[in-house]
Amino acid sequence: MKILVINCGSSSAKFQLFDIDTGAVLAKGNAERIGIDGKLTYKPAGKEDFVSTEPMPDHKVAVQMILDALVDKDHGVIADVSEIAAVGHRVLHGGKYYSESVIVDDDVKRIIRECFPLGPLHNPANLIGIEACEDVLPAGTPQVAVFDTAFHQTMPAKAYTYALPYELSEKYSIRRYGFHGTSHRYVSHRVADFLGKNYEDLKIITCHLGNGSSFAAVKDGKCQDTSMGLTPLAGICMGTRTGDIDPAIVPFLMKNENLSADEMDTLLNKKSGVEGVSGVSSDFRDLEKAANEGNERAQLALDMFAYQGKKIIGSYAAAMGGADVIVFTAGIGENTDKMRKAMCEGLEYMGVEFDDEANNGLRGKEAIISKPSSKVTVCVIPTNEELAIAQETERLVR
Ligand code: ADP
């Protein structure tokens, strides 16, 4: 069965075509600068890459160009678009409505639209992507929406409710939703398989450390808590996002720096985090290099990231009454041995015996990085959100 996975942004559409029976990626690429000029980068497996700069006035044209590339006689990987059994769409926000992926129908589209205020940058683009596929693919090709928020919908009210006036929370649907759900779901299931353990029996802390970073506490096979909130700004400090700060800082800076709400939003999301602290970069490779060369603020940013992550891990162990497994994933979690070690340092009290030898130099591979005697098993599990979306899509359409 062939499944097309689409992750639509406001001016881009990233895609991967999977043969789900083998897990192979037949082709992948990105349609960028939609509505500006247009650039399609297309990488078919075993054939030459292909770039087109034909104009892409809208998402419908972009999706058509992707399909044309997939069936092209020179660089195509399928004979006809009817071979695409279904399309899985990454959708940011399903609000309180979806704890699972769903086959798209008019109701689903209405709810994705209803959630526009919660994901103003992503949800409109995600819906445009769905509608473009409906227009361009053969009638009846199923579309599946896989929500970033869905995995976290099992959190209890005490974990997702903010201590705001209850009526206001209800009026605006303000609560903790959490993000990266597809990744947390994937790596938590994958680690149980990898360890040969029953998913429902484990207390798992998943640490998705990338440009955006979030943690999840998974117990009895369900997400119990997560570090991102109403928006992906909450939790640990990130590349350019503050993470959790004293909320009183917001009106303080707005008054003293004379900032509008939009300017404040930009400051919190785009000018803060490890880049804001270090003044160097949001990329951890640059930070590690600068810190090694003696840059104290780069070192401070790295120390803050490790310290805040460690505090979240400790708090989730407290919330779940312990932890059996800690999983590191995403760009930083999969690639930086130093950060994994720094985040686990001092967790001996809760039963973590870190294995330096297994950790040192480990990159992008499934592995155990705690000692065999460790009460808590620490693992690296590379995430694969696209494959997870394809698998979810297959499960629903089968
Ligand atoms: P996202 O999907 O959220 O954009 P990724 O999961 O790709 O992000 O993670 C990106 C981050 O991973 C980069 O900011 C970079 O700091 C970090 N990263 C990737 N590779 C390495 C590496 N080899 N060493 C250190 N950090 C890395």
Residue owning tokens 């000692």: 371
pLDDT score at 117: 87
Helix (H) or strand (E) holding 145: strand 143-147
* The predicted structure's pLDDT at residue 283: 95
Q: How confident is the model at residue 10, as a pLDDT?
A: 81
Q: Kindly list the protein residues whose Cβ atom lies closer than 6 A to any atom of ligand 1.
A: 210-212, 239, 282-285, 330-332, 335-336
Active site residue 148: yes
Distance CA 143, CA 278 (A): 43
Per-residue pLDDT tens over the stretch 311-335: 999 999 999 999 999 999 999 999 9
| pLDDT at residue 152 in the model | 98
Residue 118 pLDDT:
87
pLDDT at 385: 93
pTM confidence score: 0.93
Is there a contact between 242 and 271 (Cβ–Cβ < 8 Å)?
A: no
What pLDDT shows up at residue 119?
86
The pick from 285, 359, 362 for probing ligand 1's pocket by mutation, whose C-beta has the most ligand atoms within 8 angstroms, reads 285
What mean pLDDT value characterizes the chain?
96
Q: Which residues contact 152 (CB under 8 A, 6 or more apart)?
A: 160, 176, 177, 178, 179, 181, 184, 216, 223, 226
Looking at the DSSP bridge assignments, the partners of residue 204 are: 218, 325
Positive or negative, the CA dihedral 160, 119, 222, 205 is negative
pLDDT in the model for residue 120:
84
- Give me the pLDDT at residue 218, please: 98
Residue ranges, the chain, pLDDT below 70: none
Name the catalytic one among 148, 225, 324, 355.
148
Q: Are the CB atoms for 13 and 66 separated by under 8 Å?
A: yes
Nearest to 349 by CA among 310, 303, 296: 310
Q: Tell me what pLDDT residue 59 has.
A: 92
What is the model's pLDDT at position 82?
94
What was the pLDDT predicted at 138? 93
Dist. CA 254 → ligand 1 center (Å): 31
